[in-house]
Chain A
Amino acid sequence: MNGLQDITVTVEEGAVGEPSAQVLAIASEIAGQLEAWLATGETASIDLRSLPMAPGDYQALKALLGEGEVSARLEALGPSDIYETAVPGVWWLKHRNANDEVMAELIEITDCPGILRTQAEDLSSAPGQLRERMQKATVEP
């Protein structure tokens, strides 16, 4: 055997099949949080790294929630992939670092994840930034 590629790994059929009890528990927590949001207006989020997941649970949860209409990519300290799942108001956020390694992974129950909005702190310098860009564009050949 020369390397890792020589170790045969069989991915069992139906690995993403029936969701396990753990996946169903997370899903009902999300359902409860959606109801709470409707009732009280309070949004919520779940840190996926804080949950004990068996092999295959992650994929099963992803499959269960599906993919919705919106997806966005953020470039800040590395890429982040953010999309709304097939369930309206349930967003999946995966933050990676510059080496493409996962820094955090969250599910947010909200109408729009806060990090996607233009940040007030960045907005204050926006007019100046645009003026600077205009100046550069006209002065430089």
Chain B
Amino acid sequence: MADNETLGEQLRRQGISRRSFLKFCAATTSLMALPPTMVSAVAAALEKARRPSVIWLSFQECTGCTESLTRSHSPTLESLIFGAISLDYHHTLQACAGHFAEHLRTEVIDKHPGEYLVLVDGSIPTRDDGVYSTIAGMTNVQILEETAAQAAAVIAVGTCAAFGGLPHADPNPTGAVPVSDIITDKPIINVSGCPPIPTVITGVLAHYLTFGGIPELDELGRPLMFYGDSIHDRCYRRPFYDKGLFAKTFDDAGARDGWCLYELGCKGPTTHNACATVKWNEGTSFPIESGHPCLGCSEPDFWDAGSFYNPLSAPIGDSSDWAAPAIAAGAAAGAALGLYGRRHKADAEARREPLTARDLEDKS
């Protein structure tokens, strides 16, 4: 595609009919969690959109975020979105390596200052001068600082890039930090989740492409359109929670009848994400629909919040699986609804605060 060609021109050149374009716009509008009445506005904006350059940096990560995106189940839509951006640098996907790859990265910085997007997955090690992860002789901190300096915005893909994630979990041997601890002078969009829902990643890209700006964010830097509601707000098991009907084990009669999974450790009340509506695997289901409590993977420090199978009300450390230092450093799972995940480290007393499902309801 010519550098200055609009998306509309590009699609017409490829022989895409107007109906196909409208269908693409309907899917993109749905992807961005906008009401369907916005389709014509989205169509008008996409028609004129120009393709931004994207540099994708992978740091301390497991490649799960890239897997989530590239194995997502709407390849046509994703490939159209990816056709609409110029993915110029991505370790896992690029064909070239070594100096050539690094040259591409610096070329984008030089050619499109202030215009390109930086996507980051993985956290950044800072301990011992960042030696725990280096690329082309540069530490992750150096490469991130150099690449983000001229970027229009940075999108932190996944909980590791957004909040530190698993590498940041106690005892955090590499001194891992999120993107926002390193880059402080650029807009940062946190697309958390371990991994994030693929359509949420493309939805954020589509939003940038369509409207040329960053979407409205919550206090943790996450797009409100996807992270505005808690899982609990939108959970189809909520009527059981409201009636106080809880499954006690994974195979009791309550579990079979689809009762609420709160007592089995569900972190839905304190977790903000779009799983309950957008769902996974081509909209098939989400963990709670498959009978497993929500782990809270899109919230900061979810890994240190005690056992996945302890109710939110239980003090951290109930489980014998957890070593004492991990407990001491953990975030407070027992703090009141909405506080968990807000980087509040409650004191030990608050951590032992008894909280029942009823209390939680009263507080909400």
Contact = CB atoms under 8 A, between A and B. Distances in A.
Q: Do A and B come from one complex?
A: yes
B236 A104 contact: no
Given A77-B24, A99-B75, A122-B17, A49 B234 contact: no
A74 B80 CA distance: 19
Interface in A87-141: 93, 95, 97-99, 101-104, 106, 108, 114-115, 119-122
A44 interface: yes
B236 A103 contact: no
Contacts of B103: none
Contact of A78 (B22, B76, B276, B283): B76
B112 interface: no
Contacts of A85: none
A55 interface: yes
The majority secondary structure among interface residues of chain A is: mixed
Contacts of B35: 47
Interface in B11-33: 16-20, 22-24, 26-27, 29-31, 33
Contact of A77 (B23, B29, B33, B283): B23
Contacts of A51: 277
B36 A49 contact: no
A114 B276 CA distance: 29
A133 B289 CA distance: 53
A124 B175 CA distance: 62
Interface string A12-52: 00000000011000000000000000000000111101111
B283 A102 contact: yes
B29 to A, nearest CB: 8
Nearest to B16: A77
Interface string A52-83: 11110100000000000000001011101000
Given A47-B30, A52-B277, A104-B30, A95 B36 contact: no
B23 A115 contact: yes
B76 A121 contact: no
B282 interface: yes
Interface string B270-281: 000000111100
Contacts of A21: 239
A101 B285 CA distance: 15
Tell which of B16, B27, B75, B285 has the most Cβ of chain A within 10 Å. B27
Contacts of A97: 74-77
Nearest to A106: B36
Given A21-B239, A52-B234, A45 B37 contact: yes
Nearest to A80: B23
Given A97-B75, A104-B26, A49 B17 contact: no
B76 A53 contact: no
Contacts of B20: 76-77
B27 A103 contact: yes
Contact of A119 (B18, B31, B74, B285): B18
A120 B43 CA distance: 14
A53 B288 CA distance: 12
B73 interface: yes
B68 to A, nearest CB: 15
B130 interface: no
B258 interface: yes
Contacts of B23: 74, 76-77, 80, 95, 103-104, 115
B289 A55 contact: yes
A49 B16 contact: no
B37 A22 contact: no
Contacts of A49: 30, 277-279, 283
B255 interface: no
Given A104-B30, A119-B19, 11 more contacts: A51-B277, A52-B235, A55-B236, A95-B23, A102-B282, A103-B74, A115-B22, A119-B17, A120-B18, A121-B18, A122-B19
24 contacts: A21-B239, A45-B36, A49-B279, A52-B234, A52-B236, A52-B276, A53-B236, A54-B237, A54-B289, A57-B236, A76-B19, A80-B23, A95-B27, A97-B74, A97-B76, A97-B77, A99-B75, A101-B73, A102-B74, A103-B27, A103-B76, A104-B30, A115-B26, A122-B18
Interface of B: 16-20, 22-24, 26-27, 29-31, 33, 35-37, 73-77, 80, 234-237, 239, 258, 276-279, 282-283, 285, 289
Interface of A: 21-22, 44-47, 49-55, 57, 74, 76-78, 80, 93, 95, 97-99, 101-104, 106, 108, 114-115, 119-122
